[in-house]
């Protein structure tokens, strides 16, 4: 049954979470670093439009004052000479404001999408540097959520929340300055209401923020579960597990619903409450202002103007503008919280320690002169050598790549304190075929994972052509190894492109030759598009055996000196296996080959067969020797040709 470690009982309150200012600073630093010119320019545009939006209140005060001044004389011509220039200035400012808004919207659209593009690129590049262990211990659907849901929260932050907060802040500050200039009494009255608004925002916004953080994690859990069910749909149907899957999904979906419901319930309350507090403040300012004016109370202000209609009317307009922007500001808190929750998950991926690689021995093209000396070549020669720089004296030595692999007294565990390989020693000379047999979990695949350094050993030595593999750069080590896994992965693209994945420089002729070698050419040429047939969804339009044949062809085109065949023919029927075996024999000729197989018939011709049991090699020798010893291999071979 699926369980989510983030789930909590219905009605339970999640722990309080504070805004992570460190995350916000990191995001802003990345944003400014990405756009050091365009971002400040867009902020200037936002500041300009915000300031311009506060000017009508000043204009309204002056127009009202002018009308009051010329009301007794009815000299509207003189009044218009004062008002018209102010209107003209206002029109010019609005024209500039429209231009500024247009420029700002275009800049923010470009900056937002560009920033997300760079974030996704950085994440993907970082992901390529992570060790296999990370993907073995994290749900793939949850990782996918980083690129979709979590990144989308950053889009809302950059394109919507940040401009809104900057604009609202500059308007609030500008309006506050204007209000203080006109009347300190009325400003203090309004600020009392703002304090009340802030307390309400903290109470309601805090509750919303806590559930939005939970919501972000619930979405990742949901995507992980759905992806897991999609990949395992055949298994679900085979075992009639649909009803239980629905129940498990309902639990995950219910958690998502509860968190989303509570988060949005809080968020939807905040706006109307703040807006209506603003409406109440509007009425209070109008009533108190009217009473102060009627009582002829001296006006305390920086303007020196008496408290009259020309002050109260624009002040009411500024009250609406002030509280409205406070509301706008508070509405963005939830978006910021969601963005920081998403950013926290994204940075969690980006901050993962990359796969360690202290290797300095590299793989290079080489030539061999008449005296047998090895030299580095600047072109493809078909001969490879290990380039070994020596820091002690600055010299460089070259060792021909032969495929001599030796493991000596190796201990290993995936987790500390849980050893799965005990004192394992394997010696594979160039051109030898070494087979591993044993029950599931005996440690066969683990040995091959150590040879290509998907994991590093705890104790012992592994040498490749006499060089400690810890000294070989991982990318060069893996380039010298060809691997055919039991679980085949085909990528979206043509059959030709999937074969060429083993060697991106391979020509079409080399890819076809590799397919023929693997025995795949026959079925490929019968496909609707031949080698140009499009594959998708991991080659779901092919049989399991056909997919495996393409994987074998992909390894063949790489032409490595060492091959690892991990149950390479397990998905191929007996008839197809006979066809493939000839190609496999040709592929293995002259190479060091490690074979993992449950079918003992596929390992009979191995030079060395090693029988593993619970992480230990209990028998070793060729087929005839092990049969003669009548040990476990003999029992397996004579009792059943398949290891279960």
Regarding predicted confidence, which is higher, 2 or 45? 45
**Residue 421 confidence (pLDDT):** 92
> Which of 105-119, 362-376, 585-599 bottoms out in mean pLDDT, i.e. has the lowest?
585-599
**CA neighbours within 13 Å on the CB side: how many for 431?**
2
Q: What is the pLDDT of residues 460-475, one digit of tens each?
A: 999 999 999 999 999 8
Regarding predicted confidence, which is higher, 72 or 488? 488
Report the Cα 591 to chain-centroid distance in Å.
39
Is the confidence at residue 106, as pLDDT, over 50?
yes
Is the confidence at residue 11, as pLDDT, over 50?
no
Residue 595 forms beta bridges with which residues? 435, 565
Q: Taking residues 624-636, what's their average pLDDT?
A: 87
Provide the token pair at 349.
């991926």
pTM value is 0.73
**Residue 363 confidence (pLDDT):** 92
In CATH, what is the architecture of 405-639? 3-Layer(aba) Sandwich (3.40)
**Residue 148 confidence (pLDDT):** 84
Is the confidence at residue 14, as pLDDT, over 60?
no
Q: What is the pLDDT of residues 146-173, one digit of tens each?
A: 888 888 889 888 998 899 999 999 999 9
Report the Cα 405 to chain-centroid distance in Å.
36
Is the confidence at residue 513, as pLDDT, over 70?
yes
Is the confidence at residue 6, as pLDDT, over 50?
no
Q: Which residues, 6+ apart, have CB-to-CB distance to 81 below 8 Å?
A: none
Q: What is the pLDDT of residues 325-362, one digit of tens each?
A: 888 887 787 778 778 888 888 898 899 888 888 899 99
Pairing of strands 384-389, 608-613: unpaired
Is the confidence at residue 103, as pLDDT, over 90?
yes
Q: Taking residues 133-148, what's their average pLDDT?
A: 82
Longest dimension (CA), the chain: 128
440 pLDDT band (50/70/90 cuts)? Answer: confident
**Residue 642 confidence (pLDDT):** 45
**Residue 483 confidence (pLDDT):** 85
Buried b (16+ CB within 10 A) or exposed e, 13-46: eeeebeebeebeeebeebbeeebeeebeebbebb
Q: How far apart are CA 291 and CA 297, in angstroms?
A: 9
The DSSP annotation for 258-319 comes to: HHHHHHHHHHHHHHHHHHHHHHHHHHHHHHHHHHHHHTTPPP--SS---SSHHHHHHHHHHH
Report the Cα 45 to chain-centroid distance in Å.
32
Q: Taking residues 227-242, what's their average pLDDT?
A: 69
Three-state SS at 180:
helix
**Residue 102 confidence (pLDDT):** 92
205 pLDDT band (50/70/90 cuts)? Answer: low
Q: How far apart are CA 456 and CA 449, in angstroms?
A: 9
Give the CA distances from residue 605 to residues 35, 255, 569, 593, in Å, rounded to whole numbers and listed in that order: 63, 56, 15, 12
Order of strands across the sheet that contains 396-400? 374-376, 362-368, 384-389, 396-400
Domain positions in the chain: 21-350, 362-400, 405-639
**Residue 582 confidence (pLDDT):** 67
CATH 1.20.1560.10, applies to 21-350: yes
- H helices of 574-631, in order, are 574-588, 623-629
Order of strands across the sheet that contains 421-428? 421-428, 405-412, 459-464, 467-468
Regarding predicted confidence, which is higher, 97 or 538? 97
Name the phi and psi angles at 359, rounded to 5: -70, 145
Mean pLDDT over each residue of the chain, to the nearest integer: 83
């Amino acid at each position: 049954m699926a369980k989510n470690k983030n789930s909590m009982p219905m009605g339970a309150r999640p722990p309080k979470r504070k805004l992570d200012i460190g995350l916000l600073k990191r995001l802003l630093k990345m944003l400014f670093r990405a756009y050091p010119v365009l971002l400040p320019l867009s902020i200037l545009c936002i500041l300009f439009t915000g300031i311009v939006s506060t000017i009508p209140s000043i204009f309204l005060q002056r127009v009202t004052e002018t009308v009051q001044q010329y009301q007794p004389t009815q000299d509207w011509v003189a009044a218009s000479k004062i008002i018209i220039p102010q209107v003209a200035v206002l029109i010019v400012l609005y024209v500039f404001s429209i231009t500024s808004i247009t420029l700002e919207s275009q800049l923010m659209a470009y900056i937002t999408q560009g920033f997300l593009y760079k974030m996704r690129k950085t994440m993907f590049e970082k992901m390529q540097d992570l060790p296999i262990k990370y993907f073995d211990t994290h749900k793939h659907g949850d990782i996918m959520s980083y690129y979709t849901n979590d990144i989308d929260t950053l889009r809302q932050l950059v394109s919507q929340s940040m401009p809104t907060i900057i604009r609202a802040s500059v308007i609030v500050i500008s309006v506050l300055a204007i209000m203080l200039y006109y009347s300190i009494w009325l400003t203090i009255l309004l600020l009392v209401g703002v304090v009340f608004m802030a307390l309400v925002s903290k109470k309601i916004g805090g509750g919303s923020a806590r559930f939005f953080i939970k919501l972000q994690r619930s979405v990742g859990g949901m995507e992980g579960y759905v992806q897991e069910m999609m990949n395992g749909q055949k298994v679900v149907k085979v075992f009639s597990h649909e009803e239980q899957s629905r129940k498990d999904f309902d639990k995950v979906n219910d958690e998502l619903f509860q968190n989303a419901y509570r988060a949005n319930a809080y968020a939807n309350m905040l706006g109307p409450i703040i807006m209506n507090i603003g409406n109440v403040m509007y009425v209070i300012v109008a009533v108190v202002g009217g009473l102060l004016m009627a009582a002829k109370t001296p006006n305390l202000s920086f303007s020196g103007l008496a408290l009259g209609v020309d002050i109260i009317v624009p002040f009411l307009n500024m009250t609406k503008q002030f509280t409205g922007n406070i509301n706008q500001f508070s509405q963005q808190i939830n978006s910021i919280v969601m963005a920081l929750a998403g950013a926290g998950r994204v940075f969690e991926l980006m901050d993962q320690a990359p796969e360690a690689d202290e290797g300095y021995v590299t793989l290079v093209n080489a030539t061999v002169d008449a005296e047998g000396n090895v030299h580095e070549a600047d072109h493809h020669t078909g001969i490879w050598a290990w380039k070994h720089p020596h820091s002690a004296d600055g010299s460089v030595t070259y060792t021909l790549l032969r495929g001599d692999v030796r493991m000596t007294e190796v201990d290993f565990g995936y987790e500390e304190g849980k050893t799965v390989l005990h004192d394992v020693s394997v010696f594979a000379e160039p051109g030898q075929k070494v087979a591993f047999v044993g029950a599931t979990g005996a440690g066969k695949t683990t040995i091959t994972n150590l040879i290509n350094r998907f994991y590093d050993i705890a104790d012992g030595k592994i040498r490749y052509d006499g060089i400690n593999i810890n000294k070989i750069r991982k990318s060069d080590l893996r380039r010298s190894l060809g691997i055919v896994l039991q679980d085949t992965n085909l990528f979206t693209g043509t059959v030709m492109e999937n074969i060429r994945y083993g060697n991106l420089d391979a020509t079409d002729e080399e890819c076809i030759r590799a397919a023929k070698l693997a025995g795949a050419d026959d079925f490929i040429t019968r496909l609707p598009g031949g080698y140009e047939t499009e594959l998708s969804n991991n080659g779901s339009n092919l049989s399991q055996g056909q997919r495996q044949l393409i994987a074998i062809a992909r390894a063949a085109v790489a032409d490595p000196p060492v091959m690892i065949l991990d149950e390479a023919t397990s998905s191929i029927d007996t008839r197809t296996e006979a066809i493939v075996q000839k190609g496999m024999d040709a592929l293995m000729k002259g190479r060091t080959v490690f074979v993992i197989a449950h079918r003992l018939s596929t390992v009979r011709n191995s030079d060395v067969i090693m029988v593993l049991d619970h992480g230990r090699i209990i028998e070793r020798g060729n087929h005839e020797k092990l049969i003669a010893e009548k040990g476990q291999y003999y029992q397996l071979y004579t009792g059943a040709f398949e290891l279960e």
